[in-house]
Copies of this chain bind each other. A is one copy, B any other.
């Protein structure tokens, strides 16, 4: 970098200029919380792995619990991205959209080391309704359920709520079974079973 690097003016868009430390913490927390669980990971380990120190964490996040909630908000964004990834390939075809997601999920959930859904896992880790992380997770799952209902209605299900319930059970079952069983787990049958269920619901 040979020349002087001076941004002329404009104190940079106030949002964009994320303090480096906070972002490193965020990413590190995300990876560790997901892989090892929230309770299993101490703030010390997060800041060490992120190459920062504890006060940097507590300047950007009010508490470990709040950092966990933030992690889940990030996780949720990533989830919806994956969930809607194939939508443009199947415009207006809710069934194909959903099955595209299911296919990807079935693949991931039969990989060794799969850890399921970070949001569901957080609910298991924090049974009490008051935990901020749990609140994020529960709100997300309600959104997901509603979304499934509209998708099921648009694919012409006789009982859209019931089909959505069934597909949600399969989803959550895949999250859990993926970490319970290894590569040959029941998630391998997810797609076939979901197809059966949808077919039966249109009949």
Contact = CB atoms under 8 A, between A and B. Distances in A.
Interface of A: 35-37, 39-40, 115-116, 120-121, 123-127, 137-138, 141-142, 145, 161-162, 164-166, 168-177, 179-181, 186-190, 192-193, 196-197, 199-201
A44 B94 CA distance: 52
Nearest to A128: B36
Copies per assembly: 2
Given A124-B125, A197-B193, A200-B196, A172 B165 contact: no
Interface of A is mostly: helix
6 contacts: A115-B127, A124-B179, A169-B177, A172-B180, A196-B197, A200-B200
Nearest to A36: B127
A123 B120 CA distance: 13
B179 A169 contact: no
B197 A169 contact: no
A174 to B, nearest CB: 6
A39 to B, nearest CB: 4
Nearest to A175: B176
B169 A186 contact: yes
Contacts of A196: 166, 196-197, 200-201
Contacts of A39: 37, 39-40, 125
A141 B180 contact: yes
Contact of A170 (B127, B137, B173): B173
